[in-house]
Every structure is written in structure tokens, then in C-alpha cells.
Amino acid sequence: MWTQTLFQYRLALAIGASAAGVAVSWMTATPIGLVAPVAAIFLFARGGAVAVLFSVLAIALAGLVIATSFNLGGFRDLTLTWAGFFVVALCIGAIVAVSATPGADDHQTAIRPTAQKVAPSYPVTGPTPEEKAAPRQSPIVSINAQDDEITAELMLAASFWGGSPFHLRYWRNEPNGNCRWTEVRTEAFHEQNGIRQWASVSADLHGQRSEVPLPAKTASSPPVDDDAVIAAKFVEQLLGNAWAFDRSGRPTYLTPFAQAFVSVTLDEFQAAADEGLSFFRRTSHPDEYDHIDAAWRHSLRTGDPFYIERRIRRASGIFDWNRTAIVPTRDGHGRVTGWYGASMDLDAYRVAELALRERERELSQLVDMVPSHLWRLTPDGEPVFYSKRMVEYLGQDVADADERCIGRLEALIEAIHPDDAAKFRSVLDRCLLTGKAFSMQYRLRRADGIYRWMSSRAEPMRDQDGRIVHWYGLCHDIDDQMQAEAAIRQRERSLRQLVETLPALIYCATPGGEPIYRSQTLQDFLGLGLEETDETDETGRPRLAGTLDAIIHPDDLLTVKERYGQSLSTGEPYALRHRLRRFDGEYRWVETRAAAMRDPDGVIAQWNGVCLEIEDQVRAEEELRQVHDRLARASQAASLAELSASIAHEVNQPLAAIVANSHACHRWLSAEPANVERAKITAERIIRDANSAADVVSRIRALFKRSTESRSATSYSDIIAEARQVMADEFVRHSIHLDIEVANDLPLVKLDRVQIQQVLINLIRNGIEATDSNSGEKVLRIRVLRDEDVIRTEICDRGRGIACPERIFEPFYTTKDRGMGMGLAICRSIVESHGGRLWAQSNEPIGTTFSFTLPIEAKAV
């Protein structure tokens, strides 16, 4: 046993003894004291070093003995003394070396102190200290205990040279002198650059050690000495693993390592061979035995060398891949005399190869399964690889072009739609030249002749020097997408066509009203598109204002801006008739309607508007209205004529009677003699008929007399609004802007709604007609305000004005060609019947203001 204290003790002892020896030697001037350091050296020397020490001492002794014998140099005493010293040193060294060597009688010294050297490589098995004490055999194969170290080293060498996994269980010496049953697994790893590394794991299995000893087997090789065995032994020296066979394939020699490796002894192998089974029966994987056996028998029969890669069952029962090579030995006549061979571990390669194959399979599966075409080109653009899907799609592989004796790229371009081929070629050429990524959409012909749209991209892979090694490409079928897009485009086009061919002028505007779209018809109509109306015009006005100013009739502009602005601010639909300037400068009547398009949150996204040209309609309406007006005026005139005829007849009857009677009366009185009686009668009749005529007039007055019974408390603002509504069309038709201002604090007034509306309408119509005659600004202004105890209404026109403001209220006074001159008279009579006043005054510089008042406390006349 080797303990730290013992070691320290020995070291101290050795140093102390050496020092004492050297001191004695110096003091006595004899070498005898040097024996102590020599002994100390021997105490620590091991194996070869001991031999070297012995050799050095022996040589020195021999040299001194010779020198003494021949008395060389006349130092006979001195040499004799030194020779004596060396004899003593040799003896002391021998004693110390023997006592320091592990002895069978002492467990503590039986374990070699060089634990670090032995621990990682101790062989397959090892003895417990108890087992070591007793003669023993290895638990797996009966290798002599002394061979353990050799076996372990052979296995290490095999692992190192062959790259095989190194796997063994062994007794590990503990510093406290105990041993632990330990397993170590060491695997070789091959890096890409070829450097091998070993990774080692060891585990303490002490608790798992079976109490039942493994069956003991004895590995032995008989002293056969044929060529095969000799060859096998050479192999063994190289690999630590070798076999020899006789001519029939019966094993004749197996190295202990070979036997230990598979835990099968030579005897067992031979027994199997004697039963007619081949050598491989005991160690082959069951799945492989038949074909290995067949190959082995074939080699035995023909003399062919036997090379095979197979799985071998190791002592642990695990199968490892290895390569087995067995070649024949031949005699001088070429006859096979025997076989020898060995196996080398391939497991790491096979595992790596399998993994590699698996990865390759996965990669190629990936390439094949990706629902796209993958392709690879040389730096010159020559296709070298198409993925499976691409091959299936094209109906040709890369190499098919070679058979047709055309370039591979040409063969690919052949499959591209003729309309796209030239572009494909030029784009690809440019990419190949510049090394920039390729990207293009084109139609590619499928095997069935149908072209489908593809989106293709390729990028170059470069080496470390930046040279392009390959181009890798991806080609994705986007036909469905293209079809869908085409369908969308088609729909968009047809929608646009719909919009463009609708017999209407269509536009869109931002939520702020800025125009963003004008249909072609609208652009044609206006003679300008959006681009011609910049954000701001030369005067710096915003585009909207500039546009409106440019295209809306000046007379309508105010109304348009007002209404459009109102719609923009409230989001209410917009509808207005106005005149729009055509490209040739002519203004045409249009009806514009616009509505807000809102997003899901209800926010206005844009305004969509339609503008219908209604020039013809307006003209037709105008004409119709004029006809209507003429008819109305005619019928008015006719009924007036009728009325006046009736009145005239009613009045003329009594008048005629009066005239005739007067004349008769005159004649009766003028007669000789005067007929007074008859004159009286006729005079009475004259009085009667005159009264009758007065009655007629009274009756007519009664006919026109207005009643006050229909009066009720009414909101005057409502009446104004109604009148405005009734006249709205007139304003539009005459392009007159109505500027109206109604006071808020108007009280209810008692009045005849219909009559007051008649007054308002009459005065507004007069105002419109007056304004219409003016070529200047067409505005009619209405003001309604409270003036103490009356409501005053002013209707102010910019017409030519009137010469005699008072005469116009006389009945039958008219300034119009066709008027009957009753309107203002009636108006005045209505207003006066309500207790108000109606008057007119001229404006400065032009126009007339008609004003009338209505008492807040309306009184019946």
C-alpha cells in the first residue's frame, strides 16, 4: 500500500540518509558515505531505472576492477577503495530495490504507486486486492493477471490506431489503498480536419458488481507455427488483434485480445468450426450471418481474399461495426496453406456515415418536398441540378439536354414562354456578369405544355476569395396568385371602365374636399386633369378653392362653396345644381351629388361625387317653365279679361239704362208740352239704376273682401322659410344667391298665413325679376327684424330700380309687359288689412327695397 505519509516518511528518510552519507564521505575522504544516497536513489527507482542504476554501478565496478588489475595510473589503492564502494553500493542497491518492489507478502506494497499511468487504461477486468493475493484468472477470459496491463495497453493501442471505442471495466486503485470497480468508456471523434480526439467517461460501478463471478475461460493458443500463424502474429504486433486459420477456415490462433474482445475463446471458435459452423457464427449479427458465411465459404473455396464490413458482437453483447480482412497464405505452388486476418473497428465511421446518409436523405427529402423548384447553376449559368419537383414539372432533368445535344440553359429557356424568354436571358446574363441576385417572374411550360407563372430568384454562393462557386435558385409557382391578381385587375379595370363609361362625371375628394380623382369623362369635360390643378395656384389659394373658382360659374360660386363647405363640415350628402365650366369655356348646367364614404369606424375616408350634365334638362325645364308661365299669364289675363268683362257687363247694364232713361227724361221735359209725369218716372228709374250700379260695385268689393277669421298666432320665421322653399327653384333657375337674415327674437304674430305668404312670394318674385334684368352681382337680400312693436321685412334687390315708388301700388299700374298691375296693390291691401304698411324706396346706387311691417299685436281692420 502506498500512502502519502509513507511516501513522505520515505522521502525524509532518503534525504536524511543521503545527507548523512555525503557528510561522512567528505569527513572520511572515502566514498563509503555515498552508499547512503545510492540507497536513497534505489529506494525511488523503478523498473528500467533500477536496471540502469545496476548497469551504471556494474560498469563502474568493472572499470575499477580492470584499473586495479592493471594498476593503471598508479592509483591502485584509490581504485580499490572505489571498487569496494561500488560493490557495497550494488549490494545496498539490490537490497533496497528488492525491499521497495511490491512484495507478495505485503498488500500495501503490492499496488504500484504509478496510479496515474495505470488508472485510465487498466484492462478488461482486474482483481480485487483479495483476488490479487490469490492466484487468479481474469473474469472474462482467463488471461493471467500479469497480462492485464499488457491487454489494456493492446486495447488502448487498438483504440488509438483503429479509432475504435475503448470500453473496459477495471479495478481502480484508490489513494487509501482500496480498489473500486470502475467502468470507462472512451470514444474517438473525428473532426472534419482529420484530427482525432478522445472523449472519456468513467463511472463508479462498485455497487453494481455482480457477486457471482463470471465464468472463467482460458485463452490459449497452441504452438502451431505455420505461415498463417506467423502472419497473424505480425498483424498482432501491429494491431494487437489477429487470427490465423488453417486451409479449411478452422481458427488456429487468436490473440488474447481478439478472444477477450468478443469473449469467445479459441477453443469455442474451434468447436463451432468442428460442428460445421463457420468462424463467424459466434460473433456475427444474426441478420448478417448468412451472407457473411456465404462470402467466407466462397473465399475458402476460391482463395479470394475475404473483405467484409460487418457487425461484431463484443464481450459486452453490443454490436459494433468493423471491417474484417482475411487473406490466404500460399505455398511455393500457389496453394492455399492457411488464412490470417484481423478486424478493425469501423463503428465510428459507420455511425458517422449513417448519420451522414440520414442527413443527406433528410436534405434531399427537404429539397424534394419543398413545394418549390430548386435549381443550381454553374458560375456560367449552366444548370447542374433541378429538384425532383422541378424535374417533374418540366418533364426533363438537367442531363436530358445533353442527349439532345443542346445547352442545358438553352433547354431551360426553351421551356420559358417565348414572350419572357428574351428578358429571362438578358436578366440572367446580367446577373451572371455582375453577381447580383437574380429575380424575375416569367411563364414556365409544364410537362403538359401549359405555361404557368413562376417567381424565380437566385443568388450566388461564393468561396472565401469571393469567387462565385454556384448559383442557387428557387422558382415558385405563382400562377394561381397571378390569376387571382389578374382577376382583380380585370375587375378593377371593368369597374374603372364602368365608372368611365357611365354617362356621368365622377370625382372623388379627400375628407377635406381636395379633389383626388376625376373620371376621364370629367377630365374631358373640364379639359383638365388633377395634375393641372396644383396644390396651390399662382395666387397661393388652396387647390380646392382654386379649382372651384376655375370651374364653377361665378354666379353659383358662392352657393357652391357654402353648401359644399356645409357638407364637408357636417358629413351630410351634398346635392346642388349649378353651372360648370366646360373645356371650351361654356358653362353647362350640372347636378352634383356627393356623399361621404366612411371607414368601419365611421370616419370619413373620402367623398365620392357624381356630376350629371343637366343642361338639356334645365333648358327643357326652362322652356317648359316659360311656356307654363306664358300659359299662366295668358290664363291669368284671360280670367282677368273675363272678370273685367263680367264686371263691365254688370255695370254696363244699369249704366245703359241710366243713359237711355236720362235721354228719355230729357226728351220728356223738352217736349211741348213737357211730359213731366213721364219725366218723373224716368228720373226715378235713373236713381234706381244708378243705385243698382253702385250695388254692383259693392258686390265686387264684397267679392274681394278678405276675411280676418283665418288668422292665427304664427311663427313668422316659419312663413319666411316656407316662402324661401317655394322660391328655391326660382333662385337656382335665375342663378341668384339669396342672402337671408332673420332675427332670432321674433314673437308669434297673428296673421293670415296664406295671404302673408302671397305678399312675400310676390315681393320676392318681383325682386328676382328685377335682379334678373341686371347683369351685375345677382344677390337678393332679405332682412327680417324686430322694430319696436312691429316686425319689419325688407326685400332688397339690385335691379334697375323704379321711377315712382308710390305709383307702383296703384291698381293696374305696371312696369311689366304683361303684368296686370294688381300685384303690389293687392299686397298693400293685404298688409294694410293686417294693420301694417308696405312701401318701396330706391337703393343707392341701384335697386329697390320693398319693406313692410306687421304689428306684433295684429289687429283686424
Report angle CA 639, 642, 647 to the nearest 5 degrees: 125
825: left (phi over 0), alpha (psi -120 to 50) or beta: alpha
Interaction with other proteins in 345-404: which residues (CB under 8 A)? none
- Residue (459 or 650) nearer to other proteins, CB: 650
Of the candidate residues 291, 430, 462, 649, the single one contacting other proteins (CB under 8 A): 649
- Residue (316 or 653) nearer to other proteins, CB: 653
- The CA distance from 108 to 328, in Å, is 51
The CB-of-669 to other proteins minimum distance in angstroms stands at: 10
- The CA distance from 567 to 509, in Å, is 12
- Residue (470 or 678) nearer to other proteins, CB: 678
The CB-of-685 to other proteins minimum distance in angstroms stands at: 6
- Residue (528 or 655) nearer to other proteins, CB: 655
- Residue (598 or 688) nearer to other proteins, CB: 688
Q: In what order do the strands lie in the sheet with 604-613?
A: 515-518, 505-509, 604-613, 587-598, 574-581
The CB-of-649 to other proteins minimum distance in angstroms stands at: 4
- Which of 119, 189, 174, 104 lies closest to 149 in space, CA to CA? 119
Residue 630, φ and ψ in degrees, nearest 5: -60, -45
**Binding mask of the shown chain, residues 596 to 635, with x at each position contacting other proteins by CB under 8 A:** ----------------------------------------
645 counts as binding other proteins under rule CB under 8 A: yes
Of the candidate residues 327, 614, 660, 856, the single one contacting other proteins (CB under 8 A): 660
22 counts as binding other proteins under rule CB under 8 A: no
Q: What is the 3-state secondary structure (H, E, C) of 435-479?
A: CCCEEEEEEEECCCCCEEEEEEEEEEEECCCCCEEEEEEEEEECH
The CB-of-665 to other proteins minimum distance in angstroms stands at: 8
696 counts as binding other proteins under rule CB under 8 A: no
- Which of 314, 319, 339, 344 lies closest to 329 in space, CA to CA? 339
668 counts as binding other proteins under rule CB under 8 A: yes
- Residue (619 or 699) nearer to other proteins, CB: 699
Binding segment for other proteins (CB under 8 A), chosen from 234-242, 453-461, 571-579, 679-687, is 679-687
Side chain identity, residue 662: S
- The CA distance from 219 to 259, in Å, is 7
Binding segment for other proteins (CB under 8 A), chosen from 220-228, 621-629, 684-692, 820-828, is 684-692
- Residue (543 or 667) nearer to other proteins, CB: 667
Residue 613, φ and ψ in degrees, nearest 5: -75, 125
314 counts as binding other proteins under rule CB under 8 A: no
- The CA distance from 249 to 301, in Å, is 10
- The CA distance from 861 to 854, in Å, is 13
- The CA distance from 366 to 361, in Å, is 8
Of the candidate residues 56, 550, 671, 713, the single one contacting other proteins (CB under 8 A): 671
187 counts as binding other proteins under rule CB under 8 A: no
Of the candidate residues 656, 687, 697, 860, the single one contacting other proteins (CB under 8 A): 656
- The CA distance from 138 to 135, in Å, is 10
Of the candidate residues 41, 658, 738, 780, the single one contacting other proteins (CB under 8 A): 658
The CB-of-748 to other proteins minimum distance in angstroms stands at: 48
Query: Could you count the other beta carbons within 10 Å of the beta carbon of residue 49?
Result: 13
- Residue (501 or 670) nearer to other proteins, CB: 670
Interaction with other proteins in 811-840: which residues (CB under 8 A)? none
- Residue (236 or 689) nearer to other proteins, CB: 689
Of the candidate residues 318, 486, 648, 860, the single one contacting other proteins (CB under 8 A): 648
678 counts as binding other proteins under rule CB under 8 A: yes
- The CA distance from 341 to 329, in Å, is 10
How far are the Cα atoms of 227, 256, 325 from residue 266, in angstroms, in the given order? 18, 9, 18
Of the candidate residues 196, 298, 436, 663, the single one contacting other proteins (CB under 8 A): 663
Start-to-end C-alpha separation, the chain: 151
- Residue (652 or 843) nearer to other proteins, CB: 652
Binding segment for other proteins (CB under 8 A), chosen from 76-84, 215-223, 625-633, 644-652, is 644-652
Residue 452, φ and ψ in degrees, nearest 5: -130, 145
The CB-of-664 to other proteins minimum distance in angstroms stands at: 4
664 counts as binding other proteins under rule CB under 8 A: yes
Omega before residue 511 within 30° of 0, cis:
no
The CB-of-675 to other proteins minimum distance in angstroms stands at: 8
168 counts as binding other proteins under rule CB under 8 A: no
Which residue's C-alpha cell is 463457420?
Answer: 278
Q: Which residues pair with 489 in a beta bridge?
A: none
The CB-of-577 to other proteins minimum distance in angstroms stands at: 43
CA atoms within 13 A of residue 104's CA, in its CB half-sphere? 4
Q: How many separate helices (H) and strands (E) can be counted in the chain?
A: 26, 25
- Residue (447 or 687) nearer to other proteins, CB: 687
- Residue (158 or 664) nearer to other proteins, CB: 664
680 counts as binding other proteins under rule CB under 8 A: no
- Cell for 587? 358653362
The CB-of-648 to other proteins minimum distance in angstroms stands at: 7
Of the candidate residues 115, 157, 482, 655, the single one contacting other proteins (CB under 8 A): 655
- Which of 436, 431, 435 lies closest to 409 in space, CA to CA? 431
The CB-of-691 to other proteins minimum distance in angstroms stands at: 11
- Residue (109 or 675) nearer to other proteins, CB: 675
Extended strands (E) in 191-274: 196-204, 243-246, 251-254
Q: In what order do the strands lie in the sheet with 196-204?
A: 166-173, 179-190, 196-204
1 alpha-carbon distance from chain centroid: 73
Omega before residue 845 within 30° of 0, cis:
yes
659 counts as binding other proteins under rule CB under 8 A: yes
Of the candidate residues 325, 415, 681, 825, the single one contacting other proteins (CB under 8 A): 681
Of the candidate residues 15, 641, 754, 860, the single one contacting other proteins (CB under 8 A): 641
**Binding mask of the shown chain, residues 479 to 518, with x at each position contacting other proteins by CB under 8 A:** ----------------------------------------
Which residue's C-alpha cell is 372651384?
Answer: 548
436: left (phi over 0), alpha (psi -120 to 50) or beta: beta
692 counts as binding other proteins under rule CB under 8 A: yes
The CB-of-699 to other proteins minimum distance in angstroms stands at: 16
- Cβ atoms of 247 and 229 within 8 Å: the answer is no
214 counts as binding other proteins under rule CB under 8 A: no
Query: Total residues at the site for other proteins (CB under 8 A)?
Result: 29
- Cβ atoms of 800 and 846 within 8 Å: the answer is yes
Q: In what order do the strands lie in the sheet with 383-386?
A: 383-386, 373-377, 468-477, 451-462, 438-445
CA atoms within 13 A of residue 858's CA, in its CB half-sphere? 27
The CB-of-812 to other proteins minimum distance in angstroms stands at: 17
Any idea what DSSP says for residue 519? -
- Residue (612 or 651) nearer to other proteins, CB: 651
* Helical residues (DSSP H) of 289-346, grouped into ranges: 289-302
**Binding positions for other proteins, rule: CB under 8 A:** 641, 645, 648-649, 652-665, 667-668, 671, 675, 678, 681-682, 685, 688-689, 692
